[in-house]
Amino acid sequence: MITVATLLGLEHSGTTLLVRMLAAHSKAVAIGGLKNFAAFAYGNRACSCGGTPDTCVFWSSVFREIRSKGNDPHILAALLAAHRQNPESARDAARILVEAISVTSGASLIVDASRDPTWSKLLRYSPSINVVPIHIFKTPMAQLASAKRKQRSLCAEIRKYHLRSRRCRAETSHSPSSITLAYDTLCSAPEASLTRIMDAVGLLLEPTQATNWGVKPLHMIGGNRMKSSTSSKVERDERWSKLLSGFEIALARLGGGATFALNERESRRETRSRERRVIKLGPSGNVRD
């Protein structure tokens, strides 16, 4: 069984930080987003190393592995791109791709950062794949401040915050091992947050994950580029209080407050349900489903 952690949420909601923390585990590999595979295969997007399917050391091996099984990476890319028209073929393509990544990397955990739940859903139907959806979210104020920095429409951002959160919660509800995590919780208690996630994916937390996650070179397709750092710092996103006007803060609270509360409620529900399983199975019991 291959375990894939699918990171869900909005752009600038902390997914890139979480990817790096998870990928710092010696048995994990981060692939960027499955949603970007088609663009990468056709040369429209690069790997985070700057490479192409021919020049990236990781992805050129994955492409060779796909071909060795009699499949064509470009056909897989086309099937993934046409997931709306033909979801069944896209599911097969996603499974073949994930299996090739698993063989090439030898990793026990594959981390996908597509953010959009559509891609998590595609993998969910494969019996050989254990999908662990991880929904990470910021406060509506922090999310709105990101939008303002990027000069995006604030009203559109609030709407997206609401709609994407709802779809993420629907996706996490399908998995008993799913994780819903506030970005501020990850920053204030990185070890406890990561322990919770690593338990859900069936691995033990390694010390480097919370403290030195910036050093491992990654081959992520289409992800945000984050500079490598040897002194990894995690900070709560509180810049919003300086960036947003009083009116914008009120807009964030009014438009996104209820959504934030629902996300938090889901996180608490998961924690309670996990505690119940630990009590039922005992401290040495397997709570990983």
Which positions touch Zn ion (CB under 5 A)? Answer: 47, 49, 51, 56, 219
Smallest gap from Cβ 58 to Zn ion, in A, equals 5
Smallest gap from Cβ 26 to Zn ion, in A, equals 19
Q: Looking at beta carbons only, is 47 or 129 nearer to Zn ion?
A: 47
Cα 204 from Cα 160, distance rounded (Å): 34
Q: How many CB atoms lie within 10 A of CB 207?
A: 9
Q: Looking at beta carbons only, is 16 or 143 nearer to Zn ion?
A: 16
Q: Looking at beta carbons only, is 215 or 261 nearer to Zn ion?
A: 215
Smallest gap from Cβ 48 to Zn ion, in A, equals 6
Q: Looking at beta carbons only, is 63 or 260 nearer to Zn ion?
A: 63
Cα 216 from Cα 23, distance rounded (Å): 8
Smallest gap from Cβ 51 to Zn ion, in A, equals 4
| Phi-psi sector, 182: left (phi>0), alpha (psi -120 to 50), beta | beta
Cα 248 from Cα 241, distance rounded (Å): 10
**Nearest C-alpha neighbor of 136 from the set 220, 237, 285:** 237
Q: Looking at beta carbons only, is 42 or 125 nearer to Zn ion?
A: 42
Smallest gap from Cβ 47 to Zn ion, in A, equals 3
179-182/129-137 β-pairing = parallel
Q: Looking at beta carbons only, is 47 or 90 nearer to Zn ion?
A: 47
Cβ–Cβ under 8 Å, residues 34 and 80: yes
> Cα-Cα-Cα-Cα dihedral of 67, 222, 43, 31, to 10°?
-10
Smallest gap from Cβ 102 to Zn ion, in A, equals 17
Cα 23 from Cα 29, distance rounded (Å): 5
